[in-house]
Structure 1
Amino acid sequence: MSTNNPGTLSPSAANGTPPKSGGLIPTNNVTTKEGLTVRTRIDPTLTVEDVVRQLCVNLKVTDPSSHFALRDRDTDELVTSENLRKKIKSKVHLRLVNAPHVEAAEILRKLSSPDEKSFRMSLFSLQKYIKEEKFVQEFLNLDGLQALVHVIYTEHGNILAYALTSMENLMDLQYGWSTLNDEFIFKIVQILASPHSLVNVCRPATAILKKLVEADPMSAPGPTVAGSSKSPPQLPPDSVYQFGFQCVFEQMQRGKGSLETVVNRLGSADTAMALNSLMLVNSLLSHVSDARWDDFIHQLDQLNVRKAVISLMSSPVTDELISCVLDFQANMIRVTYRKKTTLVEPHTEPIHDSLLQYIWDSSKLHWEADEDGQQIKWRKLGFSSENIIEEFQEVGLLGLECLVNFVRNDAEFFSKVALEQLSRPEERRCPLARASNEIVELLSEYWVIFAPAYSTPTTFQPFFLSFYKVHTLAMQFFLRMWSESGSARGDFGRIAALTRSQVKVALQGEHMKPWHKLEQDFLECEYRAVRDRQMQELEAEDDLLSKVPVRNLKEKLMRESAEFVRQQRVQCLLQGAWFINGVPPAQTGTLKRPSAPWRFMRLDNGHKYLHYVDSPAKFEVRSGSEDLPDRIEIAAISQIATGTCIPPSSAMHNHVDLPASHTTPSPLSFSLLTANEGSLADHIVTDQSTWADWTDGLNMLRRDGGHVTSDETAGYIKALTEIGLKIKLLDLTGEKVDIPSGLVAGPPPINADFFFSDLL
């Protein structure tokens, strides 16, 4: 039903004076709760409260105007003073509805209603309204959290899905859910692990656990940026940042099989379920506590999570899932680095001792005593000494586990090779254990196993996730090259160089290479062909770069370069940039086009929000956020997907630099995605540098640890590292200083009567 225009709503209308320029104000349709539609002009300088009050007066509504609010009829978005101007300008059809605080009280009343239909509809609406600050404040004041928790404890099926989604949306806020306890977390774990839970129940349950993991004290908003070291801040008692990995993992341990269920769901046919499961795994990996690190990583290895992710790589994946897989790779680099820097200590770590014992028992060798009565045991397997701690100094626990996996791959072959080497003259023996450690170093160098992992590649690395298997193949290659070339003790470096050369060739393009091709490259190549290729490579390479001290220096410079580039990227976000508002190709026919073709966006100094403004044309934006009325919360961004959208038709006609395709996503586009609600923003940039600045800058801001999106950023880090390395080496080689292959520690002091002098 329609009615005549009730008048123009303006400041002068409140005083009984006609507006001076009413004809210049756009006309909006407003539908009342009774279905009455009126046409009215709304002055954009009014507040929403004034607009609602004048509407109630003109429509002769008897209830107080504070009981009403305006919503967008098409999107049901609440109209606020911040977005009112945009709604008026776009001539959006509005609805006069219950105010958020009235709606909150009404929904809570229906949650206790015996009418199932009313109960179900109230929960369905709660999913949407609980995102609104005015609604949620009243909802929490009326003890709505406990009512929602009660529903989660008692309901099942779709009703439970609605309740869990409402809780998930509530947890996007940084307040209001600090009273959740261990029993609630355990209930979510039980729901997640239940074989009877529906997919639409498991998705929000998984997302809730992820949010709880990320709500640890170290993630609380503070003056330092993500990725930097800091002490836990002093938090108020009602802070939601009091959960974290420890709280969630303990309850997952109570719920038997829950972690296994999460890993199994990585293979789910439901893409959203696989995505949420991988996001939870990534969050657990990013926030795992030192106290539970060994236990958690061991459980993931036992569940073969890497194999599950490799399977995801070979299946059709969405942009969000691609980003999650790259995050997983970055996490695995951090895990691998930590293992590499964890000392092997058999005297204090029983698991280390048992692994070493397994290696020795599998060799079927017998220890002996030398002329001085000292034990000859580990030297029989190719170590340089009997000091196991020192032998694994450079490769740590990673080296020990690689050797163990080589043995497990074929224990009989390992024993045969070990006995065969002992049957040869000492000069001709291949040092098995030393070769294993050398290959660990080669693979670590190839995959840049440094920390932080900002330099992780932008493509899938399935072979890296099979690190132990690749190590076994490289070991078999090393042994074969040693045998075919008739090598002696002094040839170890030459065979290691051959292996390094083959590693680079075999692992090249691993995101497109099948496993059987990798096996062929390691197991079927001829010694002469490898040698000829390696000689050609040596002509363009300096053997100096393969020395251990130089590799350690390169690792240090890599970390410094990554942090430098990170700061540069974040600085670009603080300066801001203009973007074209993009449209996802699949939605161009049905989705409302962007209200304006251009958007300026800037990161605030606290690194918490992206402030922006949409405009029909570019203009000079002042510093600060005065010209930027809208904002996106950084914490709400779960993924930065690339290559996702096309320009709107208006931008296609007016911007000659854009590709002419109306259906193919622009390679310079990116979208800011939430965990399960889709896109917060779709943007297209006009040059590669800006695209790299923003996609990588936003990824580096994420608290769960992001990955590098662009080859440009990865290239900068690599180039800065190589330049820095060359400058450092020039200082040494220019003075003709000899760089040793390794550093040998001298004997320990005979007493404690010494001190370290200051270096001048």
Structure 2
Amino acid sequence: MDELPDVETLVSGLMSQSESARKYAVFRLQSLLGDPDFADAFMQGDGLLALRDAVMQTSGNTQAYALGSLDRLLELDMGWECVDIHVIEKAVSLAIDQQLVNIVRNALTLLVHVVSRPLSGSQKESSGLFGFRAVKPALDHHPDFLESLVLRLSASDHTLCANALQLINALLRDAIVNGGTHEWPRFIKRLQDLGVIGGVGLLMRGDATTDAGSPLAAAILEFQCLTMLLLKKWKEAAVHVEMHEHKKALKTIHLLSRPEPYNPPEPSEENPRKPARKHHPEKWRRLGFETESPAWEFEETGYLGMMDLVDFAKRNEDQYHKIILEQSVHPLRQRCPLARASLSVTLILYEHFDIEAMADEFEHAGRRNDLQRRVLEAQDEGTIDRLYRPLLLQWARLHTAALNTWLRIWKASGADMDDFYKVEEAIRIIVERIVGATTRRTEVAKVEDELRTVTLEEARRWQIEGLDEVYEDAWGHHLGQVREQLHLESLQFMKEQRIRRLLQGSWFSTSAAGNAGWRFVRLNPNRRWLHYGQYPSHGANTPALDELTEKIDLNFVTSVDSNVSPPEKPAPLTNGSNGSTETLTAKQRKSQPTTKVTIIGHHPPSKTYKLTPVQSEPVETPLLELYPQASWVASEWLDGLLMLLDQQPITKDTTRLVEMMEDWGVRLRMLNLRWEDVDWQAMEERAKGGAEAGNRKVPTREGLDDDYWYALPET
């Protein structure tokens, strides 16, 4: 094994005129400079100047090793004195033009160190070699650098992709944190125009993110976190109409609506003075703002809300103009306020992606090592797919799709201004269901299609399901007791309904073939006897009870068996005009039955039927076979007979109806619950793991009554 060369030997090799000696020296330096003690000795041995010359003057692998050695020093926060504008210029030019991957990797890493160099306040004032402004002169000489940087994101070498993305992240972070009010939005827009969103999105949906050991996985996650930080910064930027950018944005919103020229009324005897107003008195309200001073309406969304509205108007100029025209013909209270809806969608998306919390967490602890740890933890837990949110990068397209959904829901529901917050809640639920159900590989086009086709009925159903979760969280064990009670009540109700159907009677075929005749079966009002009679054909009228010559004593019925198939249609709650005897068509009567209900028991003792001495107990035997013409009729008779025998119902129809009544019963009971009905102290103790909790102050109901109404959603 070769002995490690000393500092003097390596410095001599760097200064040698021999290419092989230089190459060997920088090759060994790459690994040795990872040791802080050796790096300190190298600096004291005047090796830094020789290393700089190797970076500037060599080529090929020698230059790649020289750049790698300098990168090792910069990682230890050493050697900064040799990183001047010329070295930065060299690194930028190599990153653009060089074909050797090793050189490009190390050149990009050097630029990452420069842009993200941690400096104190005094150092920042005395040195320009940090952040975006350190590389800006070189970028001015190479205007195609950012474009080449974005193109590197599609390279087949993952390490090269990672280095390129790390530099983009460093530039973004510095632009967000240290950039001027006007500089960083322009720089970020330029990156977006070059396709950085699409490039990172492809990486995020690819297999590279699943390799927790790859630096690319952490770089992708950092870009996602920086996007959240950027959205947060835009939201916190207040809108001021005096600022050029904000004034220009408002003007864009106005002009893209294609307003008609406004001619103020001429002076008259009543108003002899010429009006001072030069624009339409509803210039901003016609766009969906609440007042003619729209700036304050961006208070919650900040500049982010303005950007989203401008982006919607620009991307959909014809549609934007058409919407404004369509709304203008409606009465004022029935118009969908487009601007307010846009701002609301911005907040819904902001809350859905939990931007505030995620951005704060990253801002305080979002360094590369922390991100790598998060990737490793997610991989261990099997939650790697939930760590990445590629749809977050498609913010503008999501906003446009959700806003279009808002407009559809507003129209479909016939909403007016009083319903604004109801529609807002429906859109919040839709976004939560559709966007929240996506995976890392879900394409934004699929989400747009689902948002385009979601119906008001689906939104209402999701809303009801959401109420269940809220109630369950709020009332927990109370709901359990209510459900248990309502389940028993619903069963009792269904028992009575099913037995009433038996009391009305039904027609049945006497054979599976359906061609041997008919039988009418009916329960005696005393509920002790089942009467039936044989008929050659299906009668138009219901036979009277005394016409049914045969009967079964239910005291001797032990069980009921059946092969009931899945329901053909929901079973009616009452017979009424849609009973089995009134809805059977001629075609249905001729169709073969698909179900059979068998009443099983033993014959009562009689002169013709007596137990033999060998028989200690009566033998069970089929007493009557029924062939219903539809499965829902079979469900009524099968469950009706079972419940008459104090047994549990077994068919899907009956179970579904019991569950439906139980569910609506819970909802209606919730309307009667008052704040003081809930044991808040017990709930708080459970939430705190049994710890003591103080009594919550109960709001007064003074001046309130129980006069309310509740609209059931359509089903």
Shorter-chain-normalised TM-score: which range? 0.5 to 0.7
- 1:607-756 matches, within 5 Å, as 734=699
- How big is the shift at 1:116? 2.4
1:459-478 correspondence to structure 2 within 5 Å? 459-478=387-406
Please state if 1:176 is matched with 2:79.
yes
Pairing 1:510-589 to 2, within 5 Å after superposition = 510=438, 511-541=440-470
Q: Give the aligned partner of residue 259 of structure 2.
A: 365
Aligned residue for 2:229, secondary structure, equals: helix
More helix by share: 2
Q: 1:172 to 1:343 in 2, by over 3 A?
A: same
Cα deviation, 1:393-448, whole Å, max 9, x if unaligned, reads 11111111111221222211110111010011112110000000000011111111
What TM-score do you get using the length of structure 2 for normalisation? Answer: 0.57
Report the residue type matching 1:307 in the other structure. Answer: G
Residues 215/729 of structure 1: CA separation in 2 closer, same or farther (3 Å cut) = farther
Identify the match of residue 313 of structure 1 among 181, 201, 204. 204
Q: Which whole-Å CA distance do the structure 1 matches of 2:348 and 2:395 have between them?
A: 12
AA in 2 matched with 1:485:
S
Instruction: Select which of 105, 113, 125 maps to 1:203.
Output: 105
Q: Quick check: 1:422 aligned with 2:328?
A: yes
Instruction: Please give the residue correspondences for 1:106-125 in structure 2 after superposition, counting only pairs within 5 Å.
Output: 106-125=9-28
Letter in 1 for 2:101: V
CA contact (8 A) 2:84 2:129 kept: no
Q: C-alpha displacement at 1:468, in angstroms?
A: 0.8
Paired residues of 1:430 and 1:488 also in contact (CA < 8 A): yes
Deviation at 1:482, TM superposition (A): 0.9
Q: Which runs of 5+ in 2 are unaligned?
A: 266-270, 363-383, 475-683, 704-715
TM-score, normalising length from structure 1?
Answer: 0.54
Aligned partner letter, 2:455: E
Task: Summarize the Cα distance change of 1:731–1:359 in structure 2 as closer, same or farther, 3 Å threshold.
Answer: farther
Distance 1:250 1:151, change over 3 A: same
For the pair 1:244 / 2:131, whether they are aligned, the reply is yes
Q: Using a 3 Å threshold, how does the CA distance of structure 1 residues 732 and 188 change in structure 2: closer, same or farther? A: farther
Q: Distance in 2 between matches of 1:400 and 1:527?
A: 28
- 1: CA distance between counterparts of 2:702 and 2:347? 24
Equivalent residue number for residue 431 of structure 1? 337
Q: CA deviation at 1:284?
A: 2.3
- Superposed displacement of residue 250, structure 1: 4.7
**CA distance in 1: counterparts of 2:432 and 2:402, whole angstroms:** 11
Deviations 1:614-670 (A, max 9, x none): xxxxxxxxxxxxxxxxxxxxxxxxxxxxxxxxxxxxxxxxxxxxxxxxxxxxxxxxx
Query: What amino acid sits opposite 2:444 in the alignment?
Result: W
The amino acid across from 2:179 in the alignment is D
Going from structure 1 to structure 2, the CA distance change for 1:266 and 1:174 (only over 3 Å counts) comes to same
Shift of 1:730: 9.8
Cα RMSD of the aligned pairs, angstroms, is 3.5
Contact 2:232 2:359 survives alignment (8 Å)? no
Letter in 2 for 1:203: R
Give the equivalent residue in structure 1 for 2:219. 324
1:153 deviates by: 1.6
State the Cα distance separating 1:199 from its structure 2 match: 1.2
Is 1:104–1:136's contact at 8 Å kept on the other side of the alignment?
no
Match of 1:490 among 411, 414, 418: 418
- 3-state SS of 1:450 partner: helix
- The answer on whether the counterparts of 2:115 and 2:171 sit within 8 Å (CA) in structure 1 is yes
- Supply the AA of the counterpart residue of 2:231: T
Q: Which residue of 2 aligns with 1:301?
A: 192
Supply the distance in 2 between the matched residues of 1:394 and 1:411 (Cα, whole angstroms): 25
Change (3 A) 1:198 1:338: same
What residue in structure 2 maps to residue 441 of structure 1?
A: 347
**Aligned residue number for residue 629 of structure 1:** none
Q: Which runs of 4+ in 1 moved over 4 A?
A: 233-237, 367-374, 454-458, 727-738
Matches within 5 A, 1:148-227: 148-194=51-97, 196-218=98-120
Secondary structure of 1:352 counterpart: helix
- Residue 559 of structure 2 aligns with which residue? none
Distance across 2 between alignment mates of 1:737 and 1:432: 39
Call closer, same or farther: CA 1:513–1:243 in 2, change over 3 Å: closer
Which amino acid counterpart does residue 170 of structure 1 have in structure 2? L
For the 8 Å contact 1:215–1:241, the answer to whether it is kept is no
5 Å-filtered alignment, 1:57-76, equals 73=1
Aligned AA for 2:303?
A: L
C-alpha distance 346-454 of structure 1, shift in aligned 2 (>3 A): closer
How far off its partner does 1:733 sit?
Answer: 7.4
Deviations 1:32-67 (A, max 9, x none): xxxxxxxxxxxxxxxxxxxxxxxxxxxxxxxxxxxx
The 1:397/1:236 distance shift into structure 2, 3 A limit, reads closer
- Report if aligned partners of 2:22, 2:62 keep a CA contact under 8 Å in 1: no
Displacement, 1:242?
A: 6.1
Tell me, yes or no, if structure 1 residue 399 matches structure 2 residue 305: yes
Partner of 2:38: 135
Q: Flag the 1:729–1:331 CA change in 2: closer, same or farther, 3 A.
A: farther
Query: Separation in 2 of the partners of 1:235 and 1:469?
Result: 39
Distance of aligned partners of 1:433 and 1:290 in 2 relative to their CA distance in 1, 3 Å threshold: same
Identity of aligned residues (%): 28
Shift in Å, 1:214: 2.1
CA distance in 2, matches of 1:494, 1:729: 35
| Equivalent pair of 1:263/1:303 in contact (CA under 8 Å) | yes
2:240 to 345, 359, 372: 345
Instruction: For residue 449 of structure 1, report the CA deviation from its aligned partner.
Output: 1.7
How far apart are residue 494 of structure 1 and its match?
1.1
Aligned with 1:463: secondary structure? helix
C-alpha spacing 1:166/1:453, structure 2 compared with 1 (3 Å): same
Number of the residue aligned with 2:156:
269
Cα contact 2:239–2:302 (8 A) shared by 1: yes
Q: Deviations over 1:261-283 (max 9, x none)?
A: 22221111110000111122222
Amino acid at match of 2:305: G
Cα separation, 1, equivalents of 2:201 and 2:344? 26
Cα separation, partners in 2 of 1:178 and 1:113, compared to 1, 3 Å: closer
Q: Which amino acid aligns with 1:308?
A: G
- Are the counterparts in 2 of residues 145 and 177 from structure 1 also a CA contact under 8 Å? no
Count of matched residue positions in the alignment of Structure 1 and Structure 2: 446
1:290 is matched with 179
Counterpart Cα distance in 2 of 1:392 and 1:508: 26
Q: What is the CA-CA distance between 1:342 and the residue it aligns to?
A: 0.8
Which 5+ residue runs of structure 1 have no aligned equivalent?
1-72, 74-94, 219-231, 546-718, 739-760
User: 1:341: how far off?
Assistant: 1.0
Aligned to 1:598: none
Letter in 1 for 2:417: R
Aligned-partner residue type, residue 167 of structure 2: L
**Counterpart-to-counterpart distance in 1, 2:37 and 2:54:** 22
Matches within 5 A, 1:1-20: none
Looking at structure 1, the residues matched to 360 and 148 of structure 2 have their Cα atoms a distance apart, in angstroms, of 30
Query: For the structure 1 residues 305 and 169, does the alpha-carbon distance in structure 2 shift closer, same or farther, using more than 3 Å as the test?
Result: same
Q: Structure 1 pair 217/358, CA: closer, same or farther in 2 (3 Å)?
A: same
In 2: Cα distance, 1:524 partner to 1:530 partner: 11
Q: Does the residue aligned with 2:356 lie in a helix, a strand or coil?
A: coil
Q: Distance in 1 between matches of 2:467 and 2:344?
A: 19
Q: 1:384 to 1:367 in 2, by over 3 A?
A: farther
Q: Give the partner amino acid of 2:90.
A: K
